[in-house]
Amino acid sequence: MIGYGLPHFPMTRASSVDDSSGVVARLIGVLGSERVHTHPLDLLVFGKDAGVTPGEAAVVVLPESTDEVAAVVRVATAAGVPVVARGAGTGLAGGAVPTSACVLVVLTRMNEIFEVDEVGRTAWVGAGLVNEALSNAVADHGLLFAPDPASQQTATIGGNVGTNAGGPHCLAEGSTIAHVLGMEVVTGDGEVMMVGGAAPDPLGYDLRGLFVGSEGTLGIVTRVLVRLVEVPPQLETMLISFVDVSDAARAVSEVIAEGVVPAALELMDGPMIEAVENFVHAGLPVGPGAVLLAEVSGHSVGVAADAALVREIAVLNGATEIRVARDEDDRALLWKGRKAAFGAIAQSAPDYYLNDTVVPRTRFVDVLDEIYAIAERYELRLLNLIHAGDGNFHPIVSYDAAEAGMTEKVIDATHEMVRAAVAAGGTLSGEHGIGIEKRDLMPEVFSADDLDAQERIRDAFDPLRLLNPGKVLPEGSRCLDRPPT
């Protein structure tokens, strides 16, 4: 949801770009006029993601191959023009939002599945392939792609790689980094390099790990070698109600402490339950302070034992109702409610601000209480949606950006929530990335020397600093750029 009014643009084909350098003409020479866009409305639409920060590109291009991406980068960097890579625009931290006039490279047409190895359980895919489309394509092989962000019906694999996306089922399987083996990357000088690969224990530095989560600041990922996992032979999905959200949080901590790692442990508080049920009608119990959507998977004996333990711990922590999904349709409806949460928020206000941060499970309840206290102090409407098993909070503030000063108030409050998580031993983001939204909070976690080391890595891959400038690292991170003290 966005918090600013759309300016009026004339609906005629016209360029808003001063192309005295001839960049647009050269890009048209590479891609053709149909895949190079300069209309002001195109620039505005593609320059925005699902967060609150607007941006506007100088020109939008839609390549269809790695060679085309490399050619686009060479044209842009030769003219000293920044390059920003973009997928479907589902990001929430402004990672693909231009901070200055740039060539915006939209990768959604690079959506091919090149190869599936059902024995080795891997697949080579284009960066623009939609996350869920990959799982659907390999379902007949009894396989799936484990990362499942709420936006998986729209989000692309390249975007998953950019932010190290997670999702409800990454509790047991791990986030994107655990499912990427290699990738093809276009560097800042327009060269193509291969990072990682299918070998189980590759030699040398782990550049794969370096690129996952780098948000397009080190290179543009065009193809990805992903790991696929077996579809679980059995699942048990439970919706567990609690009078108080703290009871649900304690139950989560105790389940993990017992050594059980469910496939998913998702927590929604009372206001979120009400919003979702009004929107989806999934049969959620409106009234309780919280519900816990718990799912265990595996073979029948293990599933039965783990599910019994989850239910026992839930009852000991005050669970008032435990509903077990009767069949796949019932399970799908419960998950539809969880995945539709962001859309449901629109019922209460025209805008929302969503942050994500992570805390140690031992501090889960303390930080949750503090987040509620911050919202109350700022007099804001708060809805909580939490990947509870790994302590990944998603505090969501519902508000009206048309109210003077409200957006700034909301951002101040949510940044205070992030600082509370960091003070408890947590970190800035669990899956949404840093982008613009948390860039200036990086010193809360990293020392000046840490930031300098990260900036040096960035310089090694992008010495001209033209790849997605203004993201992740705050200005002055490099020690040479700092003012003298």
Residue 290's CATH number: 3.40.462.10
Report how many domains make up the chain: 4
Same domain, 336 and 414: yes
Same domain, 268 and 415: yes
User: 219-239 as b/e, with b when 16 or more CB fall inside 10 Å?
Assistant: bbbbbbbbbbbeebeebbbbb
The CATH number given to whatever domain includes residue 184 is 3.30.465.10
Least confidently predicted of 3-7, 112-116, 370-374, 414-418: 3-7
d(CA 334, CA 73): 44
- What would the mean pLDDT of 59-64 be, rounded to a whole number? 98
Same domain, 365 and 474: no
- What would the mean pLDDT of 357-371 be, rounded to a whole number? 91
d(CA 209, CA 86): 20
First to last CA, the chain: 42
- What would the mean pLDDT of 116-122 be, rounded to a whole number? 96
Residue 19: pLDDT band with limits 50, 70, 90: low
Residue 242: pLDDT band with limits 50, 70, 90: very high
Same domain, 246 and 383: yes
Q: Is residue 250 situated within a structural domain? A: yes
Identify the three-state secondary structure at position 178: helix
Same domain, 389 and 286: yes
Residue 265 near residue 349, CB atoms below 8 Å: no
Q: Give the residue among 435, 422, 318, 320 at the shortest CA–CA distance from 371.
A: 422
Residue 478's pLDDT is: 77
Largest CA distance in the chain: 70
Residue 46 near residue 98, CB atoms below 8 Å: no
Same domain, 182 and 289: no
Q: Tell me the pTM.
A: 0.91
The partner residues of 475 in beta bridges, in order of sequence, read none
Query: Is a pLDDT exceeding 80 seen at residue 28?
Result: yes
Given 76, 106, 136, the domain boundary residue is 106
Residue 82's pLDDT is: 96
Q: Give the residue among 333, 227, 213 at the shortest CA–CA distance from 280.
A: 333
The continuous run of DSSP H or E covering 335 comes out as: helix 328-339
d(CA 276, CA 354): 16
Residue 477's pLDDT is: 85
Q: Is residue 36 situated within a structural domain? A: yes
Q: Is residue 7 situated within a structural domain? A: no
* pLDDT tens digit sequence for 210-236: 999 999 999 999 999 999 999 999 999
Q: Is residue 437 situated within a structural domain? A: no
Given 183, 208, 230, the domain boundary residue is 230
Q: Give the residue among 85, 147, 224 at the shortest CA–CA distance from 431.
A: 147
The continuous run of DSSP H or E covering 266 comes out as: strand 264-269
Residue 444 near residue 466, CB atoms below 8 Å: no
Residue 418's pLDDT is: 95
Same domain, 168 and 243: no
d(CA 393, CA 376): 17
Given 106, 124, 156, the domain boundary residue is 106
Residue 430 near residue 356, CB atoms below 8 Å: yes
d(CA 55, CA 436): 11
* pLDDT tens digit sequence for 258-296: 999 999 999 999 999 999 999 988 888 988 899 999 999
Q: Is residue 1 situated within a structural domain? A: no
Residue 15's pLDDT is: 41
Same domain, 66 and 32: yes
Q: Give the residue among 105, 150, 148 at the shortest CA–CA distance from 128.
A: 105
Neighbours of 484 (CB within 10 A): 3
Residue 51: pLDDT band with limits 50, 70, 90: confident
* pLDDT tens digit sequence for 446-460: 999 999 999 999 999
Query: Is a pLDDT exceeding 60 seen at residue 8?
Result: no
- Note down the domain range covering 458: 446-481
Query: Is a pLDDT exceeding 50 seen at residue 151?
Result: yes
CB within 8 Å of 211: residues ≥ 6 apart: 161, 183, 185, 195, 218, 219, 221
Q: Is residue 203 situated within a structural domain? A: yes
Report CA torsion sign: 458, 464, 469, 473. positive
Residue 348 near residue 400, CB atoms below 8 Å: no
Same domain, 243 and 385: yes
The CATH number given to whatever domain includes residue 60 is 3.30.43.10
Q: Is residue 401 situated within a structural domain? A: yes
Long-range contacts of 439-443 (CB under 8 A, 24+ apart): 439/470, 439/471, 439/472, 439/473, 439/474, 440/474, 441/415, 442/472, 442/473, 442/474, 442/477, 443/474
Residue 202: pLDDT band with limits 50, 70, 90: confident
- What would the mean pLDDT of 135-151 be, rounded to a whole number? 94
Same domain, 199 and 131: yes
Residue 341's pLDDT is: 85
Same domain, 277 and 398: yes
Residue 11's pLDDT is: 28
* pLDDT tens digit sequence for 313-356: 999 999 999 999 999 999 999 999 888 888 888 888 899 998 89
d(CA 41, CA 19): 18
Q: Is residue 174 situated within a structural domain? A: yes
Report CA torsion sign: 333, 334, 336, 342. positive
Least confidently predicted of 92-106, 137-151, 198-212: 198-212
Report how far apart, in Å, the C-alpha atoms of 279 and of each of 224, 283, 337 are: 36, 11, 8
* pLDDT tens digit sequence for 76-100: 999 999 999 999 999 999 999 999 8
Same domain, 286 and 334: yes
- What would the mean pLDDT of 22-50 be, rounded to a whole number? 94
Residue 270's pLDDT is: 94
Residue 235 near residue 296, CB atoms below 8 Å: yes
